[in-house]
Amino acid sequence: MLVIPAIDLKDGKCVRLRQGRFDETTVFSEDPVEMARQWCERGARRLHMVDLDGAVAGSPRNARIVKAIVRDNPDLPVQIGGGIRNLDTAESYIEAGVRYVIVGTQAVREPEFVAAACERFPGQVIVGIDAKNGMVATQGWLEVSEISAVSLTQRFADCGASAIVYTDISRDGMMQGVNVEATAGLAAQSAIPLIASGGVTDLDDITRLKQAAAGCGGAGIIGVIAGRALYEGTLDLGRAQAEADA
C-alpha cells in the first residue's frame, strides 16, 4: 500500500482545505515545486496533485506548476486531478510526463468520457470519487449529486481505469481519522483498486487501513493519500510507508 503525499494547488501555492471549503484554506508552501522535491527526497513513491482552481473553473489553472514538478522529479510518478474535462487536457498532461490523470466531475457528467480516456491512455486513468454522506460531489466539491459512490464505482468496473481515488469529504483536512469502514466497504464492492483519501491523521490510520485492505475483498486498497497530517507533522512519511510495507 502506497502512502502518497498530496499537493493541492490554489493560486500557485501549496494549500490544504477543510472539507473542500475554499474559505478554509491553509497555505503550507509558496513554492510547490520545492515542496514536491522535498517529498521526493523523503522517499515518496508517488505524488498526488489537485488543481483546485481548475476543478472549479473546469479547465487547468496550475498546469505550468504541475509540469514543472514533473520535469524536476522525472522518476516520481505523479497523478493529477482538477479540471480534466476533455481528452486534449489529459493528453497535454501525459505528454508532459504525468503518469496518471484523475477524472472526477466529468466521470459523473459524462461516464463515456472515462471509457474514451482509458482507451486513449491505457493504464493511466484514475477515477476520482469524492463523496459526502455516501453521495458523489462534483465541481470542486461545490455540488452534491444524486449518485452514490457505490453505484458510480460499479459503473466503471469494465472501463479499464487504473484505480479509484475515494475521498470522504467530511473527513478531508479535518484530522479526524480515515473513514475506514466506508473505504473498506466500497473496496469490497469494487472491481477497481482503491486509493483512500480524507482524514489521515497519524500512524494508526495507516495501520487500520492496511488491516482493512488485507480483509476487505474486491480489488483492494492499494494506496492512501496524506496531506495535512504530513504538513503538520502528526504523520512521518518514512514511518508511514514502512508501516504500510510491513
Catalytic residues: 8, 130
Helical pair 111-120 and 87-95, crossing angle rounded to 10 deg: 30
Nine cell digits for residue 60: 487547468
φ, ψ dihedrals at 191, nearest 5°: -90, 0
C-alpha dihedral (78, 79, 82, 84), degrees to nearest 10: 110
Q: Are strands 78-81 and 100-103 parallel, antiparallel or unpaired?
A: parallel
The region that residue 97 occupies, defined by phi over 0 for left and psi between -120 and 50 for alpha, beta otherwise, is left
**Of 199, 195, 222, the residue nearest 102 (C-alpha):** 195
Are 187 and 213 in contact by the 8 Å Cβ rule? The answer is: yes
